[in-house]
Structure 1
Amino acid sequence: MGVIDDRRNYSLRRMGELKQELSPAQKIAARKACVFASGSFGRLEASDHSDLDPCIVALSDASGKSKLSLLQEIRLKSEIISSVERLSLPEIDGDGKYLGKFTSHGLVNEIGSPIDDSDNTFTTRLLMLLEARPIVGEDIFNTIKKEIVEAYWVDFDRYKNKFIPAYFTNDIIRLWRTFCINYEARTRKLTGDLRIKKKVKNYKLKHSRILTCYSAIIYLLSIYKLKNTVTQEDAMEMCSLTPLERLFSLRDRDRLKDSRGAVENLINMYENFLEMSGQDPAVLEKQIQDNEGYKREDYRFGQEMFSAINIIGSGNEFHRLVVV
């Protein structure tokens, strides 16, 4: 069993334990909200060193107001924090400041709006679609995901025989650019030991975040290549898969044999990344500082993803949209 299977099994086991611990949270959120995990747990590639990245999304009433009251939100967050402590998982990142609450109205109706970025609904929406797993309120989680996809596919009926998901794809690309900009803004002035931590963040960014965003894009490109259109059902299927599962799906399709080599390379390179990044943080920092086993794999991974995009896209209209 390789590191990919090990990480997946660990993630599923810990997520199962977390769901059991969150039984009281299920009652608080019942018919009102869901909680999902993004990050390494959402991608099913967590290790002993991985922290949980939870997020609460509440259903909205007819006026757009959250059905989850403020007191219920506080109780729900308390249950999440306590469950993480009881399971001896690493402390939630950022002292809990990223443990936000959003509404279904905001995630659906703020698409493309001026406040999409400032409210952080943009990043939350895309992570919910591309790398999230529900830990409370799975039915609500799936309902909200479907509403978001339908909002991106609003023009499908007009172009259903040759629909290119331009709206959605542009936002996925924007998410990758946002990750890059945020990384630069937070780390560009770091020096000394903090600069080594910056290199570690960069190493992880250029693997996990590239995979999250571009596994979705090459998956959608493959659907368009095979069907000359992309339906809402295709998008929902893509969103139900982890980033690695998208690669496995592409690798195993007989009609995409020309891209199999590039996709297999991506899987192997990502497995190497998981093996290296799963080490004790201090060991990983030293390896990257000494440049042992590092040697710019992040750039090679990006180059291989570029190759896969070009092979699968084959210069068609959707491929052109991704590039320009």
Structure 2
Amino acid sequence: MRTPPDYRALAPTIGVDPAAIPTIIGSAARSWARLGEARRCLSELDADAPEGVALFALGSLGRLEASEASDLDLAAIYRGDAATAAAADQRRSEAATRLRALGFEVADKTFARALDLDALVADVGGRQDTCDHLTYRALLLTEGAWVHAPAVARGILDAIFQAYTRGTIASGRFLSALGNDLHRYYRTICVDYRHKVEVAGKGWALRNLKLRHSRKTWHLANLVLFTWASEVDEDAREGLIAAHLSEPPLARIAAGLDALGAAPLAGPLFVAYERFLAALADPEARASLDALDHEARTESALYRDLRGNADRLDDAAQAIALHLLENHQRYMIRFGLL
């Protein structure tokens, strides 16, 4: 993703008034500006930067959906032949300190430790592969925006992408190895939700709504993109997917449906997603959802509203999926369902 999507210009093509999606438009502009601030801030580290270490913004900032209430998922990836884990962890720590001084809420959760690129790509699908490896691969490819060492970052992303495409036997003429791994990640986070709320006792409402809005939209964007790619010449598929995979999910869906002659189907999805993003941009709404007990969910007008909105997003997503199934049946049944 080299430039942000112009949702204002895109809106008429999907049958939506730009005035109906102000949060989507504003979040994209704000996120792009904040990425620029982060990059300029961390460029000061370049003079003594260890070779082979790159830093990425993941999550809502990487998807260009961030609000003032969003935190920053900061991931550090290094090449083991050029840097050590200790050097990469130190670089991430230094960057996090600088970014916090700039007002970023840097999270130290899933992405707190640097990972070796070799570990991510050496055993995809094998016994040494882990949920963390899968998470990093899926998110780096689909929402990883560099914030430090762009040339190294580009090489890392290319290496991850090529881990799926360089095979002579299993890569698939529809890049099915990559599509299956992205699908696997989506199903993994669906099951992970169960563990977090049932076993780990973590807050459920916000996780539930994210699963039903942003995670589902992410998955749908992959289905749309790969279906689109299935309709172009075989020698153009890899380039098409490489060019669009890192775009924000909403932009990916709009571009894919437009190419498939079904752009208006994206309109209801955008409208439902707008309501979700607007709620997440409200600190009071987020706090209310974070504190909401499952037993009290029906007493919360906010939760009831967003649950209904999730149903509307479901309807919009199902209309898109049904269109893909009816008009691109061979690909969707073989790779999307079976």
TM-score of Structure 1 vs Structure 2, range by shorter chain: 0.7 to 0.9
Paired AA for residue 87 in structure 1: L
Inter-CA distance 306–170: structure 2 relative to 1 (3 Å threshold): farther
Deviation at 1:111, TM superposition (A): 1.0
TM-score for the superposition, normalised by structure 1 = 0.85
Name the counterpart of 1:141: 153
Paired AA for residue 27 in structure 2: R
Inter-CA distance 83–229: structure 2 relative to 1 (3 Å threshold): same
Work out whether 1:234 is the aligned partner of 2:240.
yes
Equivalent of residue 127 in structure 2, options 96, 114, 117: 114
Cα distance in 2 for partners of 1:155, 1:316 equals: 26
Name the counterpart of 1:318: 331
Name the counterpart of 1:21: 41
Q: Tell me if the contact between 1:37 and 1:134 (Cα under 8 Å) persists in the aligned partners.
A: yes
Cα distance in 2 for partners of 1:158, 1:178 equals: 22
Alignment of 1:194-209 (within 5 A): 197-209=203-215
Work out whether 1:33 is the aligned partner of 2:53.
yes
Work out whether 1:132 is the aligned partner of 2:144.
yes
Inter-CA distance 178–230: structure 2 relative to 1 (3 Å threshold): farther
Amino-acid identity (%): 22
Q: Tell me if the contact between 1:29 and 1:68 (Cα under 8 Å) persists in the aligned partners.
A: no
Equivalent of residue 308 in structure 2, options 292, 296, 302: 296
Q: Tell me if the contact between 2:80 and 2:117 (Cα under 8 Å) persists in the aligned partners.
A: yes
Name the counterpart of 1:216: 222
Inter-CA distance 29–303: structure 2 relative to 1 (3 Å threshold): farther
Name the counterpart of 2:191: 181
Deviation at 1:190, TM superposition (A): 7.5
Name the counterpart of 1:168: 178
Q: Tell me if the contact between 2:52 and 2:79 (Cα under 8 Å) persists in the aligned partners.
A: yes
- Structure 2 unaligned blocks of 5 or more: 1-18
Q: Tell me if the contact between 1:221 and 1:312 (Cα under 8 Å) persists in the aligned partners.
A: yes
Cα distance in 2 for partners of 1:211, 1:285 equals: 22
Inter-CA distance 85–219: structure 2 relative to 1 (3 Å threshold): same
Work out whether 1:81 is the aligned partner of 2:96.
yes
Q: Tell me if the contact between 1:247 and 1:267 (Cα under 8 Å) persists in the aligned partners.
A: no
TM-score for the superposition, normalised by structure 2 = 0.81
Inter-CA distance 285–129: structure 2 relative to 1 (3 Å threshold): same
Aligned residues between the structures: 307
Cα distance in 1 for partners of 2:235, 2:217 equals: 23
Paired AA for residue 130 in structure 1: T
Cα distance in 1 for partners of 2:149, 2:307 equals: 43
Q: Tell me if the contact between 2:77 and 2:116 (Cα under 8 Å) persists in the aligned partners.
A: yes
Q: Tell me if the contact between 2:75 and 2:114 (Cα under 8 Å) persists in the aligned partners.
A: yes
Name the counterpart of 2:250: 244
